Structure 1
Amino acid sequence: MEKANNIKDIFVNGAIPPDKIAKSIANHGVKTAIGAHSIFLGQIRTDENNGRKVVAIEYTAYRDMALEKAREIREETFSKYDLTCLHIYHSLGEVNVGEICLFVFTSSPHRKAAIAACNELVERIKSELPIWGKEVFDDNSEQWKVNQ
């Protein structure tokens, strides 16, 4: 998805479906200059806090600011690493335990660039994008999550 001002929309409403991930991988089979892909999938886990279990995380963001920062991070990553492709998808809204909330996919002629770029992207997304998660517990209480 592209926004009108040509900023790629990284957001997916709810969980990132497995078929979106599979299709993205399959679409790269025709790009024969690619020698390596690195993929990171962030999944909601069952954490426990004061006897309560996390059942979901509800993500919110300053959308326009996050999209602009993602564009900046994307451009910087392309200039730093020898990449063929780079894709970022992040959930907004509620994502249940066991579902995927972050999909980062880098492709390069060589594995080292794909792996290093993917790792750096994940760290920058977690630390720089204005996206927040509210933990939803099994007793219907909520609390803002601290990124680790």
Structure 2
Amino acid sequence: MNEKKMKDIFMDGPIPAGFIADSIQKHSTKTNIGAHSIFLGQVRADELLDRKVAAIDYTTYKEMALEKMHEIRESIFAKYELTCMHVHHSLGTINAGEVCLFVFTSSKHRKTAMDACEEVVELIKVELPVWGKEIFEDDSYTWKTNK
């Protein structure tokens, strides 16, 4: 495995639309890219046990999560011919309707970008030690299970 510095993927609060737009715009000068694939995870106002989810409070064991994300990143770059990959995950309380996960893959060809993006999202959901506490409108809560 190469010894690149681990990137900090976490940001406090929701991921702003302007941040996403800026990330896309920064790639306009990279002429070796033919395709981008983007996944945006958004907090849903699910109804559970007759209560409506108002927000999710995300927490993590950051050091462990960054090590795991580095492993995921290295495995994806070994499997797919990507130009770049960016992952950003929210921490803290994210309200229903706000973006909490941004995965952005780029490559010469669309299928590569799309397949890599989908695999990264699935690996994050299964392997990344990030926990979400679903907070209901009445301030009660339950721990979220990933689906």
| TM-score, structure 2 as length reference | 0.96
What is residue 116 of structure 1 aligned with on the other side?
Answer: 115
Structure 2 SS opposite 1:119: helix
Give, in whole Å, the separation in 2 of the partners of 1:50 and 1:106.
37
SS across alignment from 1:32: coil
Distance apart, 1:50 and its partner CA: 1.5
User: 2:139 & 2:35 partners in 1: Cα distance?
Assistant: 43
- Is residue 31 of structure 2 the alignment partner of residue 28 of structure 1? no
Structure 2 counterpart of 1:75: 74
Q: Trace 1:3-42 onto structure 2 (pairs within 5 A).
A: 6-42=5-41
Identity percentage over the alignment?
Answer: 62
Q: Provide the TM-score with structure 1 as the length reference.
A: 0.96
Q: How many residues are aligned here?
A: 144
In 2, distance between residues paired with 1:130 and 1:8?
A: 16
- AA at the equivalent of 1:100: V
Give the equivalent residue in structure 1 for 2:85: 86
Once the two structures are TM-superposed, the CA of residue 7 in structure 1 deviates from its matched residue by: 1.1
Cα RMSD between the aligned structures?
0.8
1:74 is paired with a residue of what secondary structure?
helix
User: 1:70 Cα deviation (Å)?
Assistant: 0.3
Consecutive unaligned residues in structure 1, runs of 5 or more: none
Distance 1:80 1:91 in 2: 26
| Structure 2 portions without partners, runs of 5+ | none
Q: Which runs of 4+ in 1 moved over 3 A?
A: none
SS in 2 for 1:84: strand
Aligned to 1:53: 52
Task: Map 1:120-131; keep pairs closer than 5 Å.
Answer: 120-131=119-130
Describe the SS at the equivalent of 2:120: helix
Deviation at 1:6, TM superposition (A): 2.0
How far apart in 2 are the matches of 1:118 and 1:53? Answer: 30
Q: Distance in 2 between matches of 1:128 and 1:73?
A: 9
2:44 is paired with a residue whose SS is: coil
